[in-house]
Amino acid sequence: MRFKLVLVSASVLALAACHRVKLPLPTDLLPQSQPIRPLADARKALGEATPCCTTFADFSYQTRLPWRPQRFELGPGSLVAAINGSHSYFLSFALPQDVKLPYKVGLKSELVGRSVTSGSYLFAPTVVQLDEAFQPIGSEDVKLCEYMGWSNSDSGAFGSIEITSDRARYLVVYSSSKQQTDNTYWEQSASTFSTASSTTPTTTTVGGSYKIQHGPEGVVWVGLMDKPYKEAVSKAVCGKAPQGDGLLNSLGADLGLPRRSP
């Protein structure tokens, strides 16, 4: 028994030594590329905007889908469409015809706001695939999942869609009425801190999970899926993880040791 306990301790120490814990980017240091407006004001501004387009055939498709996700700002100054009963800012692209099917399009939305606890929101995309006659052949409210990387560029709410039809010629990104009233799961680590400067931590925030509301405006990244986006989507957090048994119980089960009581 003593040998087994020593073996368990050694295994725990080895795991601790070789496993580097990756801390999430502090939410108070997330990028703020647009003026932060209260969600109610953002919704009011969109509702009062005059739509330029009421059908997909009205959109311009001169912009080709980027070869890797690129950054787009949607908000004041952007064109507004009235589609499927929803006012929304939008993006429209011509799809590449020299990419082998199927392929994926990567998307990311940035958090609008200084902290997950202070009225933050994000733009949640709906993606429509169109044929050459601008008729929809597929529409999807994209499920967003949070991933916090080492930098601003690989942090945010990630999602993807797949292009499978050889009839797909164009792509529209907007936000449906359902998306605009929904929310995205967001998790904050207990190690997250806010700062008065870029180097000195001042307050530590308690870890927890939140539901970030969807809003009508924000920053969205769109383009062909590349390796960093594929990794972010595969590791993103979409909801609360099921309660585990703990590291010691997992090691004990592997070694045939009795289960530890909670």
Q: Per this entry, what is the length of the chain?
A: 262
Sign of CA dihedral 139, 144, 150, 152: positive
List the domain boundaries for the chain: 23-241
Amino acid at 32: Q
Residue (of 104, 101, 48, 120) closest to 222 by Cα position: 104
| Least confident segment among 50-54, 93-97, 164-168, 256-260 | 256-260
More reliable by pLDDT, 96 or 27? 96
Q: What is the Cα–Cα distance from 28 to 82, expressed in whole angstroms?
A: 34
Residue-wise pLDDT for 45-96, tens only, equals: 999 999 999 999 999 999 999 999 999 999 999 999 999 888 999 999 999 9
User: What does the radius of gyration of the chain's CA atoms come to, in whole angstroms?
Assistant: 22
- Region 236-249: what's the mean pLDDT? 69
More reliable by pLDDT, 261 or 205? 261
Contact 115, 218 (CB under 8 A): no
Copy the structure tokens of residue 33.
């590329």
| Least confident segment among 32-36, 78-82, 210-214, 232-236 | 32-36
pLDDT tier at 223, thresholds 50, 70, 90:
very high
Q: What pLDDT score does 6 carry?
A: 43
Residue-wise pLDDT for 109-152, tens only, equals: 999 886 776 789 999 999 999 999 999 999 999 999 999 888 77
Instruction: Give the sheet arrangement for strand 156-163, strand by strand.
Output: 70-74, 218-224, 103-109, 156-163, 145-147
Q: Determine the 3-state secondary structure of 98 from DSSP.
A: coil
Whether 172 shows a pLDDT value over 70: the answer reads yes
- Region 171-195: what's the mean pLDDT? 79
Q: What pLDDT score does 24 carry?
A: 43
Contact 107, 232 (CB under 8 A): no
pLDDT tier at 246, thresholds 50, 70, 90:
low
* % the chain with pLDDT above 90: 60
Q: What pLDDT score does 3 carry?
A: 45
Q: What is the Cα–Cα distance from 44 to 51, expressed in whole angstroms?
A: 14
* % the chain with pLDDT above 70: 69
- Region 102-111: what's the mean pLDDT? 97
| Least confident segment among 32-36, 237-241, 256-260 | 32-36
- Region 1-18: what's the mean pLDDT? 44
Q: Residues 6, 10, 11, 14: what is their CA dihedral angle, to the nearest 10 degrees?
A: 180
More reliable by pLDDT, 4 or 63? 63
Copy the structure tokens of residue 153.
């560029």
Q: What is the Cα–Cα distance from 157 to 147, expressed in whole angstroms?
A: 6
Q: What pLDDT score does 35 carry?
A: 54
95 to 79, 130, 171: CA distances (angstroms)? 20, 10, 7
169 to 121, 222, 228: CA distances (angstroms)? 31, 16, 25
Q: What pLDDT score does 14 carry?
A: 45
